[in-house]
Copies of this chain bind each other. A is one copy, B any other.
Amino acid sequence: MTMSRRELIKGIGASAALTLTGAPARAQLPGGGRAKVIDIHGHYTTVPRALTEFRQRQLAEIGDGSPTLLRIILNFSDDQIRESVQQQLNFQRERGTDVTLFSPTAGAMGHHLGNEATSFVWSRICNDMIHRVCTLFPNNFIGVGQLPQSPGVSPKKCAGELERIVKQLGFVGVNINPDPSGAYWRDPPITDRFWYPLYEKLVELDVPAMLHVSASANPNFQGTGGHYIAGDTTVFMQLLMSDLFTDFPTLRLIIPHGGGAVPFHWGRYRGLAQDLKRPPLTELLKNVYFDTCVYHRPGIELMLKTIPIDNILFASEIVGAVRGVDPESGHYYDDTKRHIDAMTFLSESDRQKIFADNARRVYRLKV
Contact = CB atoms under 8 A, between A and B. Distances in A.
Given A226-B237, A233-B230, A185 B299 contact: no
A296 interface: yes
Interface of A: 179, 183-185, 188-189, 192, 218-222, 224-227, 229-231, 233-234, 237-238, 240-241, 257-258, 260-261, 263-272, 274-275, 294-299, 301-302, 305-306, 321-324, 326, 333-334
A65 to B, nearest CB: 28
A238 B264 contact: no
9 contacts: A179-B220, A230-B230, A260-B261, A264-B264, A266-B299, A270-B296, A271-B322, A271-B324, A298-B302
B274 A324 contact: yes
A185 to B, nearest CB: 4
A258 B267 contact: no
**Cβ-closest 9 pairs across A and B:** A267-B296, A267-B295, A261-B261, A264-B264, A271-B322, A230-B230, A271-B333, A226-B237, A185-B220
Contacts of A189: 219-220
Given A233-B229, A233-B233, A302-B299, A238 B222 contact: yes
Contact of A184 (B179, B185, B238, B274): B185
Contact of A326 (B263, B264, B270, B305): B270
Which of A238, A241, A261, A302 is most buried by chain B, counting CB atoms within 10 A of its CB? A261
Contacts of A294: 264-265, 267-268
Given A222-B241, A263-B264, 14 more contacts: A185-B185, A185-B221, A220-B234, A225-B240, A227-B234, A230-B230, A230-B231, A230-B233, A265-B296, A266-B296, A267-B296, A267-B326, A271-B324, A275-B322
Contacts of A179: 220
A340 to B, nearest CB: 14
A306 B305 CA distance: 16
A118 B271 CA distance: 33
A179 B271 CA distance: 25
B298 A185 contact: no
A321 B268 contact: yes
Contact of A299 (B184, B234, B267): B267
Contact of A224 (B229, B270, B272): B272
Contacts of A227: 234
A342 to B, nearest CB: 14
Contacts of A305: 298
A52 B196 CA distance: 38
